[in-house]
Structure 1
Amino acid sequence: MAQADIALIGLAVMGQNLIMNMNDHGFVVCAYNRTVSKVHDFLKNEAKGSKVIGAESLEDMVSKLKKPRRIVLLVKAGQAVDDFIDKLVPLLESGDIIIDGGNSEYRDTTRRCQSMKAKGLLFVGQWSQWWRGGGTLWTLTDAGRT
């Protein structure tokens, strides 16, 4: 069975482009989408002839990953992120990494970092925080440093 370096959940345009970029830089990526037909379509079209592999379930995806497992979530910010985290946690082991690539609200990112740290998992979240001056401060937070 092929062993992927990283998995990405969410095959909208940004997810597909990030997968192909990682593939172009020598990484084996496992693609997953909750609508499995999108995985099949992506593998037959945009990822045809690449090293990208697909998964038909979260269990299948996790089984195809090298340890420590690295999983990128590119799903809608908010409840969808929490729902995927809840489904992933029972499948993962201490030291595995979940990366939220969406634009989650910073309080959600902080909460997730603390929760994952307590479970022995690493969480990397990207969030933006508006400041009074009218701009956006971009920050990355991870469970190992909170």
Structure 2
Amino acid sequence: FFFCQTERKRHATTTSSMSTDELNDIGLYGLAVMGQNFALNMASKGFRVGVSNRSEAKIGITEARAKSEGDLPLRGYRTPAALCASLKSPRVVVILVQAGAAVDATIAAFAEHLEEGDVVVDGGNEWFPNQLRRHAELAEKKIRFVGMGISGGEEGARNGPSLMPGCDLEAWEVI
């Protein structure tokens, strides 16, 4: 996985009442097959992962899997605000929802709780003009954007996905 945990810890600042050691390294929204397995993959590599989903049942299922697969450092949150408050700054939120309008709605819900320098990663295999539009829209708010296709299916997401990020240098340096 391409996130540099050492760098993120060195540059992390507190974004909530939690201490820096309690904050999550990364957030992931969307706990269908790919999202759940990708979150567990990151947690199995030692990243503290905060997860959320519109279905609270999937949050509970993901937390239970994390516990049964070795008490992995993964915690569930019920709202975008709570997930964002749980993250180290600059915050990184990976979105894994169905391409199209659902991505736009999810980005809008999270953008309310993000600040300058935070990063949104769209993990869907989205049509590139939509990625360019989202990059421009978030850039107006000084939020960085990464379009990142994830290949490998359920097994790949859990054990070794092929990640294809596209972004500007500033976003790359954060992730």
Q: Same fold (TM over 0.5)?
A: yes
1:143 Cα offset (Å): 5.1
In 1, the alpha carbon distance for the partners of 2:44 and 2:109 equals 29
1:67-146 equivalence runs, <5 A: 67-126=89-148, 140-142=165-167
Shift of 1:10: 0.8
Structure 1's consecutive aligned runs of 4 or more residues displaced over 3 angstroms after TM superposition are: none
Q: For the aligned residues, what is the CA RMSD? A: 1.7
Give the 3 Å change call, closer, same or farther, for CA 139–37 of structure 1 in structure 2.
closer
Question: Secondary structure, in 3 states, of the residue corresponding to 1:41?
Answer: helix
Q: Is the strand fraction higher in 1 or 2?
A: 1
- Give the number of aligned pairs: 134
- Which has the higher Rg, Structure 1 or Structure 2? 1
The CA distance in 1 between the partners of 2:53 and 2:33, in whole Å, is: 12
Q: Distance in 2 between matches of 1:18 and 1:104?
A: 17
Give the TM-score of the pair, scaled to structure 2: 0.72
TM-score for both structures, normalised by structure 1: 0.85
Q: Offset at 1:140?
A: 3.7
Q: How does 1:22-41 map to 2 (within 5 A)?
A: 22-41=42-61
Aligned partners of 1:76, 1:82: CA distance in 2, in Å?
A: 10
| Unmatched tracts of structure 1, length 5 or more | 128-137
Structure 2: unaligned runs, 5 residues or longer: 1-17, 150-162, 171-175
Name the counterpart of 1:133. Answer: none
Which of the pair has the greater relative contact order for Cα pairs under 8 Å at 6+ separation?
2
Identity of aligned residues (%): 37
